[in-house]
């Protein structure tokens, strides 16, 4: 199980770091500037978000995922709005994330409200962006695939400090559940089928909003994956044009899930996501975490693992031990 948990964590970090240089650039601009991204790269000075990072560094997606785990560990893995918000604000202050375009709009608004002593719910209940989903993959390792209600409830509590809408909780639950299924080595068809079904449970948790259907977009994305199997360029263009690769949960979550299904291998998934355009680091983080959960740590390129270890001041093996212990505690 530790191999699968480590695969999830390194998949998250690798997909994030690979997608960092092209983050929030159009598909055309990514092609024109990079040609094709084939390795870890520094964030270009021309990219006003990625310019804050150097090659091999992951962004806020992985950083926030680990901060949340730290906050959970302090409280015996009982989610605390206060501890999670404090951890996120401390990190944001230390990295100057409020001023450097590193935070997403929903998280930024909610955390600024908390800093000012105001009620953040005016922002959290309307949060349609993917901040909850981008950082949730490790939470999926705590639950078996049959614990759908428990997973959804936990995802909601962990996400609530910044994201409390139905779409945010629904999308995040789908990513976490896909990880739960992947670490149990379910087939890719089983992973997608069950991930679609959990949305109906999860969407009842948050504040009601109006947006496009993630399950229907995912089903369409899976149709594209089958129709254009072996034709990466056409599949990628259909995902970009039709499903969407923007920062909305209703775009990036179904796109990430469809991309994971299409690529299956974490290396291919990280490369594919980095080149698709749009919210490349977040899509890469979500999709490659799922692929890493399925393949496991031992299947991931050791040079890529070393790149993550050398360029980020974290010990992912310690987090894997933490998650494995908590997963076991939940079964004792």
Mean pLDDT of the region 185-193: 98
What percent of the chain is predicted at pLDDT more than 90?
96
The count of residues in the chain is 332
Q: Does the 2-329 domain belong in CATH 3.40.225.10?
A: no
DSSP, res 279:
S
Tell me the C-alpha distance between 174 and 217, whole Å. 13
State residue 219's pLDDT score.
98
- 318 annotated binding-site participant: no
Tell me the C-alpha distance between 79 and 84, whole Å. 8
Give the model confidence (pLDDT) of 32-85 as tens digits.
999 999 999 999 999 999 999 999 999 999 999 999 999 999 999 999 999 999
Tell me the C-alpha distance between 255 and 277, whole Å. 12
- Quickly tell me which residue has 């031992």 as its tokens: 298
DSSP, res 240:
I
- 279 annotated binding-site participant: yes
Tell me the C-alpha distance between 179 and 293, whole Å. 6
- 59 annotated binding-site participant: yes
State residue 3's pLDDT score.
98
Give the model confidence (pLDDT) of 235-285 as tens digits.
999 999 999 999 999 999 999 999 999 999 999 999 999 999 999 999 999
- The CA radius of gyration of the chain, in Å to the nearest whole number, is 18
Residue 99 has pLDDT above 90, yes or no: no
State residue 130's pLDDT score.
97
- Residue 205 phi/psi, 5-degree rounding, is -80, -45
**pTM of the prediction?**
0.98
C-alpha dihedral sign at 245, 249, 254, 256? positive
- 187 annotated binding-site participant: no
- Average pLDDT over the chain, rounded to whole? 97
Mean pLDDT of the region 171-191: 98
- 60 annotated binding-site participant: yes
- Residue 44 phi/psi, 5-degree rounding, is -65, 145
- 162 annotated binding-site participant: no
When mean pLDDT is compared across 118-122, 255-259, 328-332, the lowest value belongs to: 328-332
């Amino acid at each position: 199980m530790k191999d699968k948990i480590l695969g999830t964590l390194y998949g998250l970090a690798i997909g994030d770091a690979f997608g960092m240089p092209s983050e929030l650039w159009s598909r055309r601009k990514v092609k024109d500037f990079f040609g094709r991204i084939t390795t870890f790269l520094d964030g270009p000075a021309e990219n006003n978000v990625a310019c804050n990072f150097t090659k091999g560094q992951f962004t806020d997606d992985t950083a926030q995922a680990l901060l949340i785990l730290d906050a959970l560990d302090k409280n015996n893995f009982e989610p605390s709005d206060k501890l999670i918000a404090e951890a996120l604000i401390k990190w944001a202050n230390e990295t100057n994330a409020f001023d450097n375009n590193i935070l997403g709009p929903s998280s930024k608004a909610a955390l600024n409200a908390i800093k000012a002593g105001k009620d953040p719910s005016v922002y959290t209940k309307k949060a349609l962006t993917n901040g909850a989903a981008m950082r949730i993959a490790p939470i999926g390792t705590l639950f078996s695939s049959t614990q759908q209600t428990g997973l959804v409830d936990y995802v909601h509590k962990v996400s609530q400090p910044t994201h409390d809408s139905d779409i945010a909780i629904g999308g995040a639950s789908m990513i976490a559940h896909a990880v739960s299924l992947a670490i149990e080595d379910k087939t890719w068809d089983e992973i997608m089928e069950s991930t679609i079904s959990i949305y109906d449970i999860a969407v009842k948790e948050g504040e009601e909003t109006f947006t496009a259907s993630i399950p229907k977009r995912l089903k369409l994305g899976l149709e594209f994956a089958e129709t254009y199997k072996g034709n990466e360029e056409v599949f990628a263009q259909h995902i970009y044009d039709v499903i969407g690769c923007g920062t909305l949960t209703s775009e990036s979550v179904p796109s990430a899930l469809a991309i994971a299904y299409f690529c299956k291998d974490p290396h291919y998934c990280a490369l594919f996501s980095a080149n698709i355009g749009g919210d490349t680091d977040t899509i890469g983080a979500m999709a490659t975490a799922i692929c890493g959960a399925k393949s496991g740590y031992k299947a991931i390129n050791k040079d890529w693992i070393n790149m993550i270890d050398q360029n980020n001041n974290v010990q992912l093996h310690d987090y894997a031990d933490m998650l494995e212990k908590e997963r076991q505690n939940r079964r004792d």
